[in-house]
Structure 1
Amino acid sequence: MPADALPDLDALLAGLRVVQIPMRTRFRGVTVREAAMLHGPAGWGEFSPFLEYAPAEASRWLIAAIEAAWRDWPDPVRGSVPVNATVPAVSPTQVPEVLARYDGCSTAKVKVAERGQHLEDDLDRVAAVRDVMGPGARIRVDANGGWDVAQATEALRRLAPYGLEYAEQPCPSVGELARLRVALAHRGVDVLVAADESIRKASDPLRVVREEAADVIVVKVAPLGGVRTALGIAAECGLPTVVSSALDTSVGMAAGVALAAALPELSHACGLGTVELLEGDVTADRLVPSGGQVTVRRPGPDEGLLARWAAPRDRELWWRDRVQAAHAAARAASPA
């Protein structure tokens, strides 16, 4: 975003509201989700980079929130988006309860390679998902780069009999993903590889395509700097695209839904049902699946729910400082 297109810092801070919403289940190490809501002339945007992200990385999330609150989004080509259920690294006995939250979803993404757990835990969890959802459901696993090539090859060999749709970011680097695809082919393991972090955290997302490191790409609006930027990256990559979320409230989720709705082709269910992982939301018009779909719409926050989940004053000040730092980083990185 050009520097002169960035709103002034005072304008960003004027409508800032910060919320804290507990998670139903620990996810990505997060037990309480914090998010800053920004209000602009086009509506509301969400700025919620994970707490460990430095200003340069967080600046892309701020640009995405500015796009939502100060600009419009591309026109949709579909009125609803198919979504997957998300199963955290829970015990097999908890799987039925988790899946019950996702009305009509026939695809599930299952977290694997959780720190402190073992492959047997992953196998038991995926088996439980298959048992609950039946033979016709699609199951994908997400390792968040938790395996090296040898570990991923063995894990996917053992998980493949459960009928995996794909494995998301099984290894951390693009080079490892490329080597893994070769290793799986040599061993006759029929599992597709999807790139997530290798797209959204990369300075060169197209490297995944050049090195033939993935069969599918996963894109997230906020880490890529907005709906338009993510749509452009998907077009340049030219691979089947799955739109996913980043533990957003419904305000942030609306941007992901807008991206999925604007894609020319959408062959996979999207990871846009994660509002169900939160104990609450900032709007009563929650973007959660109904019949396995999320209807394309843009809910705004309710004042009562913003007040209910309002963060303490010290956390609000922390987020104001963070907006300032991300704004400065965005200005420094923007063309004149």
Structure 2
Amino acid sequence: MQHKARLQGLRWAPLKQPITFVLEGFYVPPGYGSLLFFLALLDFVVVLLGNGTVILIIIIDRSLHRPMFVMICNLAVCDLLGVIAVTPRFMIHFLTGQRRIAYSHAIAQAFCVHTYGVAVQTILCAMAYDRYIAVCEPLRYHSIMTSTRLIFSCALAWFIALLCIGVLFYFHIDVPLCGNIIQHVYCSNRAILKLACLSMSWSLSTSVFIVIAFSYIKILQATVTKGKADSSIRSKAFQTCASHLVVYVLFEIATTIIVLSHRFPSMSQNIKKFCSILFTIIPPAVNPIIYGLVSTELRKSVIKLFRLTVRQI
């Protein structure tokens, strides 16, 4: 009753379902729509081919059925989730100028984008734990990182991400809305809550950075200590951890740019909006290249599959 009384005192009446949102999107100068569509399509194809190839190679090559590569496969699936949730909507916008999106589609897009953002970090956290065991406890690695623990680690990473986002959306799904223009280029929880009739605020933070940082600090300590007696330990640590660190740093840089872009009010709105989607454009496109360059086994498997395909053609 108190909630209804507060709503009655509002200046604007809550919208009734079915609600159709209007995405503000990018400002597209006349004649540039086709070019932007092509660039978005190019990034989409690169991400699909790169991550799809990584997933396919790891599935069909039994020699890659090991914890590190299984987790890389999970990260590739996560990258596909983020890109598929966002990029097709951009392409439609650039090609046709369509800005409308149904309420259910908006919620689905926001849920997928947030899940992608959290799952990337929880999966990288699981990968950091795996590398910590591999470098700091090499003799016990296979007894610790069993198939059961591997499955549990991957499932836990996805469960935590889905649980966090599920709880977040559970509290906001029925919030009355008094507007339908989303001032963003994609649907997010925060962008939708800005349309709420009541003042809403909810922040979701993760502490996976602490776990990842702790794991790699321990790896560094073990590398320095053991590397004095055996230089091959330093080489192994670099080969197994470099790609994970690069991927994580790349994702954090992309997300940091989003935060920093809001600190400059004079910055072009198009540039701000572009910065806000970097984390769904750059990491998913670059991650397969990073793992292909660093992992000799994965690179050889890709080359082998490519040669077999060429021979069959």
Q: TM-score, normalised by structure 2?
A: 0.27
TM-score normalized by the length of structure 1: 0.26
* Higher normalized helix content (fraction of residues): 2
Q: Relative to total residues, which structure has the larger strand share, 1 or 2?
A: 1
